[in-house]
Structure 1
Amino acid sequence: MSLKKGLLLCLLVSGTSLLLYFTYIPLTKKWLERTEEATKEHFQEVSGIYYVAYPRKYEFIIDQPDICEQQKPYLVAIVPVPPGDVDARNGIRNTWGKQKVFGDKVVLVLFLIGLHSGNDEEILQEKLRNESQQYKDLLQSNFQDSYRNLTIKTMVMLEWLSKNCQQASYAVKVDADVLLNMNNLINMLVSLNSVQHNYMTGLVWDNSIVIRDPSNRFFLPYDVFSRDTFPPYPLGMCYVISMDLPQKILQGAREVKPIYIEDAYLGMCLEHLGIVPTKPPNIELFVVRLLKYNRCYYSKLIAILTENTNQMTSYWTDIYSSSQPC
């Protein structure tokens, strides 16, 4: 190789190296900055996922604002359900949500939903509007409907009750997979003789242990909730509140940072307010464990957690297939 060619090759290699160097450094710096930012966001998400952002600025896009004034219910049943689960809503409409009057007590059943996300969002929203026109029992707020947002869903429910249903005596929140014997619930409330205040009942859990196992879906780290047990609270599957409580809980919630476990969070708000949940006359009226079905026994309960809508429907149909289940 001649000296001239060698010098030319050396200059070419050096120039290429410098070009790669000055190109690589900014790219590497950008990549590191982007990675650092993503990592920071990741850890912020991990540390914040057990809290709930509740800005109190949600609005109802499907609403029934005058329905309590029109129907004057004694009891309002609110069923939180995913937007796309029309089978669950129809299952309740055809079973325990069908009867509207018990003696002289009017019952109102409403379904609370949030926003659906996905490619079929617009199609589902149109179906929801049609469903609302047909049944007039949907409440839809503009929060994202998800498991982690159940606390938001609960607080939005309280907002609606406080604003629109002060004339009712009680509200019951009931999950869609719960078999509710409405007549038994009405009888329990009427037996109290007078309308209660600061009243919340259901399957009340005392000294519920805070889960510290990260693999458990109810896990909470110490920096979110440092105590070993939660304050008393009724299990979220079904609980009853007097109608003075929604506004009080909403006020108390301004001082209690929301966590994603919605029923435990209500217990935290009640403790902040100095209110203790009331146990029902018989704690076994609310059943969370799945029991072997027995028509006579099930007919005497108030709320039973089932596996799904089909099971709930079959139990209800069998119980009410006869005027004398026992």
Structure 2
Amino acid sequence: MAGLRRKLKFLVTLMTVNLFIFILVFHGGGGQDKGHNKVLVPSKRFWSKLAPSQAYWNRQQQRLDLQHNPILASSNSNNTSDDDDDDVRPVPDWLNDTGLNPDPCQPDYRVTTHVKDYNSLPPRFKDFLLYMRCRSYPLVVDQPHVCQKTRRGEPPFLLLAVKSLAPHFDRRQAIRQSWGRAGVLANRTVVTVFLLGNTTAVDHHPDLSEMLRYENTHHRDILQWDYRDSFFNLTVKEVLFLDWMTTRCPGAQFVFKGDDDVFVNTLRILAFLKGLSGPRARDLFVGDVITNAGPNRDKKVKYFIPESLFVGNYPPYAGGGGYLYSGDLARRLHGASQHVPLYPIDDVYTGMCLRKLGLGPEKHKGFKTFDIEEKYRRNPCAYKGLMLVHSRTPQEMIQIWAWLNDPNLTCQ
């Protein structure tokens, strides 16, 4: 009976569509000459046949797109529940992803055959591909109350999330003493957290766990997850931070996320945010935007991406040195990230998630991710109107912050 009802529903729908087409043709051709009343039949089918991409990442995106397409998901569900219903074609095997290990954090050895040049790829690609499906890692150092125990007892106006590595003690301390100082700044509540993974012996890092424990005891601003802290895993850090924020700091109004080797003019950022309201504040995402870019095919460059992994152009994205966005958008990015496969370059990945939301980053001239002219670098006034400069040493961060906070500084 269920199959019969579906077939009747299909026939009714088909008749309705045909009637609609007839009305369009009848009314559209009423004012034309009789010789032009011939109905034009499309030479190609409206629905193209689903075919897998040869690039591994693109193929994973195809799968996710179809899994989250309610119409196709419903059709596939109906097809599997009633074998005698031939109205809906089954989803191809390559989209069903058969043979998948239910634990996404176990290495997926199928990639060794699904990526044609897997064996010739650099080790960082092999590691990324094997664990590409894993998005959940243990949080070994947490700050569950950092956003609740502010001096004013209110959610932070600005959350500074700084990507760092375990050995970078001096950078973190310089940030704490300068632009990342937590508390009340310009009458706004600011909270700072440092995002770390695990620097393992595999990458020849010394064991610094005791020093990190000591550092965290004094500052209570470190978040650390138990995953390999590598360049390609910066995307994992992005996803884990968004997950942490939606749980631990959902009330933050704005977020700055950047590297630990940039100088950030927090005062300028707060002044910029003060003038925002409405839709602009809600959808805010500003930085040094890169457009019309694509994967780098030069194997000697650390941003190298082989054609077997990705084909196509990148969406507009903000350079990973640092960007500023709203807390509302952060929560939506968290949801969108579940529909985009991990990509080895984190700032490109964030651009992909923005595109999934139908948004794009806004370019702001105050973000200088490729530095300023050398002749201006020792001029305090050169930094007054900027939001970010890359890169700066710990000593330079402290020096520039002292310049900007000097009450005698006058700039024209």
TM-score by length of 2: 0.64
Measured after TM superposition, the shift of residue 43 of structure 1 is 4.2
| SS of equivalent to 1:68 | coil
Q: Give the C-alpha shift of residue 99 in structure 1.
A: 5.5
Match of 2:209 in 1: 125
- d(CA) in 1 for partners of 2:284, 2:126: 32
Describe the SS at the equivalent of 1:210.
Answer: coil
CA distance in 2, matches of 1:274, 1:223: 27
Greater Cα offset, 166-175 or 119-128: 119-128
Q: CA deviation at 1:304?
A: 0.6
User: Counterpart amino acid of 2:394?
Assistant: T
In structure 2, the CA distance between the partners of 1:179 and 1:248, relative to structure 1 (3 Å rule), is same
Deviation at 1:254, TM superposition (A): 2.6
Select which of 322, 338, 358 maps to 1:254: 338
Cα distance, 1:55–1:202 mapped onto 2, change above 3 Å: same
Which of 148, 151, 156 pairs up with 2:235?
A: 151
Matches within 5 A, 1:11-160: 42-43=119-120, 48=126, 51=129, 53-71=132-150, 72-98=155-181, 100-118=183-201, 124-160=208-244
Secondary structure of 2:136's aligned partner:
coil
SS in 2 for 1:183: helix
Identity %: 28
Amino acid at match of 1:286: F
Q: 1-side partners of 2:393 and 2:128: how far apart?
A: 27
Aligned to 1:197: 282
> In the alignment, is the contact (CA less than 8 A) between 1:64 and 1:137 conserved in 2?
yes
1:186–1:42 CA distance, 2 compared to 1 (3 A):
same
User: What residue identity is the alignment partner of 1:150?
Assistant: L
Residues of 1 paired with 2:306 and 2:410: CA distance? 47
Q: Is the 8 A contact 1:295 1:325 kept in 2?
A: no
Structure 1 residue ranges without an equivalent (≥5): 1-35
Change (3 A) 1:97 1:254: closer
How many residues align structurally? 286
Distance 2:201 2:172 in 1: 21
Mark the CA change 1:180 to 1:277 in structure 2 (over 3 Å): closer, same or farther: same
Residues 254 and 57 (structure 1), Cα distance of their counterparts in 2 relative to 1, 3 Å cut: same
Aligned to 1:290: 371
* Post-superposition offset of 1:169: 0.4
Q: Which ranges of structure 2 fall in alignment gaps of 5 or more residues?
A: 1-111
Secondary structure in 2 matching 1:57: coil
2-structure distance, mates of 1:154, 1:255: 14
Q: Separation in 2 of the partners of 1:260 and 1:122?
A: 25
Question: 1:63, 1:140 within 8 Å by CA — same for their partners in 2?
Answer: yes
CA distance in 2, matches of 1:56, 1:152: 7
How many angstroms apart in 2 are the aligned matches of 1:84 and 1:210?
30
Match of 1:314 among 399, 406, 409: 399
Aligned to 1:225: 310
Counterpart residue type for residue 77 of structure 1: L
Counterpart of 2:389, as a letter, is I
* Aligned residue runs from structure 1 range 236-275, under 5 A: 236-275=320-359
1:253-289 Cα offsets, whole Å, 9 max, x none, are 233221111000111111122122233xxx2200122
Aligned-residue offset at 1:230: 1.1
What is the DSSP-based 3-state SS (H/G/I as helix, E as strand, rest coil) of the residue aligned with 1:151?
helix
CA 1:284–1:278: 2 relative to 1, 3 Å: closer
**Quick one: distance in 1 between partners of 2:354 and 2:196?**
25
SS at match of 1:245: helix
- SS of 1:110's equivalent? strand
Aligned Cα RMSD in Å?
A: 2.7
TM-score norm. by structure 1 comes to 0.79
- Contact in 2 for aligned 1:231/1:264 (Cα 8 Å): yes
Q: Tell me if the contact between 1:204 and 1:234 (Cα under 8 Å) persists in the aligned partners.
A: yes
